Amino acid sequence: MTNSVAAPSNRIVSLDILRGITIAFMIMVNYNGGIGNGAGGTTSWWFMNHADWIGLTPTDLVFPTFLFVIGVSIVYAFEARLSKGATRASLVKHTLSRTAILIFFGFLVNNFPFGEIKNGAWQFHLEHMRFFGVLQRLAICYCVVGIFYLYDKSVKTKIYALVGCLVAYYLMLRLIPVPGHGIQFLDPDFNLVNWVDQQLMPGHLYEDWVTHNLRDPEGFLSTLPSFGTALLGVLTGIFLRTNRSVTQKARGLAVGALGCLVTGYVWSFWFPLSKKMWTSSYTLVAAGYSLALFALVFWMVEVMNWRKVWSWPWLVLGSNAIVAYMFSELLPAVFVFTPLVVFHSAGSPLLAQADGKPTSILGWWNLSMYNLIPAPHWAAFGFCLSYLALCFIPVWILWKKKIFVKI
């Protein structure tokens, strides 16, 4: 990893803003401040939570938007390096190196602090460490789609690959039976996607519903349609590098958004929207919303030249997105395992209590919001907004020092 003291070059400002908006919402929904309400729900607003299985909420759009942005960035980053004399071999080496670093970061995020205190002693739980995850999927898609683009820049082949990934995934789930269960197209527990993950990574998956470690929303087989998300980003990047005017490009992004949304929603009648399976219809619908948001930001920034106060926080976050994400993911582990010490009137230290039990800094912070704000939904929102503000501090410091962390 290297630090650059110069502003990133050859970047679309609107793309940095989109990346910043995405990482901000990602931090907020990951730590939405919701507390179980005793009825199987949460006190945070519905749109700050993932759909349980079938369906779509705004939260379900965050991850694919980030992957879409990576696809767009592949085109601009690779073309910038090639224009400066870099060879394809050196770019492949850089891509593989960056992929390895992102996967390592993914392992760190998934498993830190790698254990827990039981009976007064630290016990490691690496035997159940999660292999797949958000950063791992981003890394794999970046690597495969990036090298694909590097050696073949044809639009036609990208479209063929996109259609192939989405249709092949649909046919596999429709036609291949799950051993012992037959064809279970969308069963939440016994579909083909879950079965493959259980065979490849038993005991190392994310969710635990009916049996131990039954499902992983970023597992092996569902990576196939996520390639489609990255490919849609690459196609967008190729389109934006054409000689069309910025107004024509904004219109093109809007038309692309409409096309993806219509196609995806129509397909959803036969292949329902599900983020946890990354269904092909979900791939298209999520990309449609990503394109719609990008079209809006692109029009505001590149066409109307509205770049002043409103864009600053998103540029700060977008220019050091990996720092913001890693900070937001690792800090809670430190907070959760750090008891909050307070002092009573006599001046001696005591552990802060919640419901008669010692609480961590994070737990105290969350409960404090509920004490300060009577409305539960607003209290949850207050927590996630204040947590985002905390995560903004390190990237703001880097921004002021003109340091942009590159992997």
pLDDT tens track for 327-363? 998 887 777 655 544 434 444 433 344 444 445 677 7
What integer pLDDT is reported at residue 230 of this predicted model?
97
pLDDT band at 11 (very low <50, low <70, confident <90, very high): low
What integer pLDDT is reported at residue 181 of this predicted model?
82
What integer pLDDT is reported at residue 323 of this predicted model?
93
Highest mean predicted confidence (pLDDT) among 88-92, 354-358, 378-382: 88-92
Mean pLDDT of all residues in 74-92: 94
- pLDDT tens per residue across span 188-218: 878 898 888 888 877 777 765 444 557 788 8
More confident residue, 293 or 7: 293
Distance CA(172)–CA(150), nearest Å, equals 29
Q: Are 234 and 71 in contact (CB under 8 A)?
A: yes
pLDDT higher than 90, residue 291: yes
pLDDT band at 373 (very low <50, low <70, confident <90, very high): confident
What integer pLDDT is reported at residue 356 of this predicted model?
46
Mean pLDDT of all residues in 304-315: 88
Helix, strand, coil percentages in the chain from 3-state DSSP, rounded to 5:
60, 10, 30
What integer pLDDT is reported at residue 129 of this predicted model?
75
More confident residue, 203 or 248: 248
Lowest mean pLDDT among 2-6, 46-50, 315-319, 334-338: 2-6
**What's the DSSP call for residue 258?**
H
Lowest mean pLDDT among 7-21, 77-91, 160-174, 278-292: 7-21
pLDDT higher than 90, residue 12: no
pTM over 0.75: yes
Written in H, E and C, the secondary structure of 274-341 is CCCCCCHHHHHHHHHHHHHHHHHHHHHHHHCCCCCHHHHHHHHHHHCHHHHHHHHHHHHHHHHCCECE
pLDDT higher than 90, residue 183: no
What integer pLDDT is reported at residue 125 of this predicted model?
62
What integer pLDDT is reported at residue 35 of this predicted model?
74
- pLDDT tens per residue across span 91-117: 999 999 999 999 999 988 887 765 554
DSSP code string of 329-392 = HHHHHHHHTSBPEEE-TTS-EEE-EETTEE-BHHHHHHHHHHHH-SSHHHHHHHHHHHHHHHHH
More confident residue, 296 or 130: 296
Mean pLDDT of all residues in 238-260: 96
What integer pLDDT is reported at residue 14 of this predicted model?
94
What integer pLDDT is reported at residue 255 of this predicted model?
97
Q: Are 231 and 285 in contact (CB under 8 A)?
A: no
What integer pLDDT is reported at residue 5 of this predicted model?
35
Mean pLDDT of all residues in 219-243: 95
Distance CA(324)–CA(392), nearest Å, equals 7
Mean predicted lDDT score pLDDT of the chain: 85
Considering the chain, what percentage of its residues have pLDDT values greater than 70?
84
